[in-house]
Structure 1
Amino acid sequence: MFRHQGRGRNYAHNLKLASILSCVAGLVNIAGVLAVNTLTTNVTGHFAFFSEQLILLNYKMALIYLLYIAFFLMGASLSGFIVELASKKKSHNAYVVPICIESMILIIVGLLPTFVEIGRSFSTLISFALLFAMGLQNALVTKVSQSVVRTTHLTGLFTDLGIEFSQLFFYREIAEKMKLHKSIFLKLMIISGFFIGGIIGGFVFQYFELKTLLLPAIMLLFALWYDSILLRFYHLKRSLRHDE
């Protein structure tokens, strides 16, 4: 799911990646909206709010929105740096560190109300942390899937999906149609995962509030465990073949 890159990566890998991490993004997004009234999976709206606050001469809020954008960018940059560094060393575990950092952020933020009272200053810090985590995830998924999968925002997905729906009327060859159908299904899976994550997160938040973030953290750690189990299975399979 994570470790396959380049020619070793196939449609099934991207489908698994899209299903799990889009649901994670949906969960984090709704938790951010309900807990601190902040969209944490993309920065498009924050540019508009930043411009609005500048016009209103509210420079403090303008700076906060600018920092929202900066933290998402820093998360993406760190993730990209880690993956590039690992690729230079020819490591197949480049994804482990960004996923672990993201999981730790979600766990810390999820457990934060247990230790401190969440005031306005902590709300801003929570927004920073979640935007940083989503920047990490988006860059990692984009890098690993070679830009095929993006899990934290839907605007580009709906645009691409609209284009591909229109292409259904023009593609005639079987191979082209199959490729197009697969691409459409992948995008629908990402969108569905994001919506399902948002709906589940909304219900869970009513009872557990910020602890809702423990759910996407568990999903990320499960994804790492699943990948490690598969890796051991394939290594065992190869060793048995060599023994024969």
Structure 2
Amino acid sequence: MIYGNESISHYSRSNVSIWMTMAFQAGVLNIGGFMACHRFVSHVTGFATFFGYELNKEDSSHAIGMLIVPLFFLLGAMLSGVLVDIRLKQHKKPKYYIAFGVIFFLILIVLLGGVSGKLGVFGESVYSLGDYLLLVLLCFICGVQNGTITTVSKSVVRTTHLTGITTDLGIGLVRLINYKKIEGPLDNEKKATMMRVGIIFFFGLGSVVGGYAFNHLEYLGFIIPALTSGVLFLMMLYFQLFKRA
């Protein structure tokens, strides 16, 4: 993945390390969005739920916002499609470094905007335009991240939410338990199961670390995903542009 090759090994050490780092990063971003304005940002399900909730309140003005915000997750996924998926289908090298660069610079904007007071009061529910801007940015970031990893893993890996991964883990565990009844080797299933366990663990770890950081640092807690995304961006930039495989 780091070189942008089409023929990747799904469970190579470098790929797995990147996936775990991004799962950790997503856990931090998700808890950060929740603690900043009481909304989860790494999956669309919550916004659909809040849309129904807000629509049935006496003041339903926020319902439109809850409908619009997840569209930016979609736009982020579409951007990753332009940078990665379409290029792979055209047998061109995907531009991972641009996708990771977008994630890094948008997280920097969240960090600086939050610290400077442009993104609403930390810990306040969604009321102001700044709160919605925060949600839009975080959803877009998660859309880019999830779309990129989904493409490169051929829809095996999701790093921004755990529903699909947990479902796949349950199915995989049943396959391993009943390995004697299944024809063919299960080496890939074993690797996939360990990968899924790892993603769940690192997402949870990111939530724990992020929870502690945001509780003490508020918006400054976004320095954690800024560091992880910055390292990933520089790594992709180096390997894709300066050190050819």
* TM-score where L is the length of structure 1: 0.86
Contact 1:5/1:144 (CA < 8 Å) preserved in 2?
Answer: no
- The 3-state SS of whatever aligns with 2:70 is helix
For residues 183-226 of structure 1, the C-alpha deviation after alignment (integer angstroms, 9 at most, x for no partner) is 11000111111011111111111232112212112212212333
Quick one: distance in 2 between partners of 1:57 and 1:78?
Answer: 37
Instruction: Tell me the distance in 1 between the aligned counterparts of 2:132 and 2:244.
Output: 45
Q: CA deviation at 1:109?
A: 0.9
From the superposition, tell whether residues 79 and 183 of structure 1 become closer, same or farther in structure 2 (CA, over 3 Å). same
Instruction: Give the alignment partner of residue 199 of structure 2, picking from 164, 180, 190.
Output: 190
Equivalent residue, structure 1, for 2:124? none
What secondary structure, in the 3-state scheme, does the structure 2 residue paired with 1:11 have?
coil
Q: Which runs of 5+ in 1 are unaligned?
A: 236-244
| Residue matched to 1:74 | 75
Q: How far 1:14 sits from its partner (Å)? A: 3.4
Q: Which amino acid counterpart does residue 101 of structure 2 have in structure 1? A: C
Matched, 1:123 2:131: yes
Could you say which residue in structure 2 is the equivalent of 1:140? 148
Post-superposition offset of 1:113: 3.4
- The 8 Å contact of residues 40 and 127 in structure 1, kept in 2 or not, is answered as yes
> Which residue number in structure 2 is paired with residue 17 of structure 1?
18
Identity between Structure 1 and Structure 2 (%): 29
Distance 1:34 1:186 in 2: 28
Higher helix share: 1
1:104 maps to amino acid: F
- For residue 3 of structure 1, report the CA deviation from its aligned partner: 3.5
The corresponding residue for 1:242 is none
Larger Rg: 1
User: How many angstroms apart in 2 are the aligned matches of 1:70 and 1:223?
Assistant: 26
8 Å contact 2:27–2:203 — kept in the other structure? yes
| 2:170 is aligned with 1:169 | no
Greater shift, 43-52 or 4-13, is seen at: 4-13
Distance 2:200 2:41 in 1: 16
Find the counterpart in structure 2 of residue 102 from structure 1.
103
Cα distance in 2, alignment partners of residues 149 and 91 from structure 1: 22
Verify the 8 A CA contact 1:6 1:146 in the aligned structure 2: no
Equivalent residue number for residue 239 of structure 1: none
Q: Distance in 2 between matches of 1:91 and 1:195?
A: 35
Report the alpha carbon displacement of residue 145 of structure 1 after superposing the two structures with TM.
Answer: 1.6
1:166 and 1:52 map into 2 onto residues whose CA distance is 37
Q: Identify the residue that residue 223 of structure 1 maps to in structure 2.
A: 232
Residue 216 (structure 2) aligns with:
207
Q: Give the aligned residue type for 2:152.
A: V
Matches for 1:145-160 after TM superposition, within 5 Å: 145-160=153-168
1:69 Cα deviation (Å)?
1.6
Counterpart position of 2:7: 7
Matches of 1:72 and 1:210 in 2, distance apart? 21
Alpha-carbon distance in 2 for matches of 1:8, 1:181: 18
CA contact (8 A) 2:104 2:233 kept: no
Contact 2:30 2:42 in 1 (8 A): yes
Gaps of 5+ in 2: 122-127
Deviation at 1:17, TM superposition (A): 2.4
Number of aligned residue pairs: 235
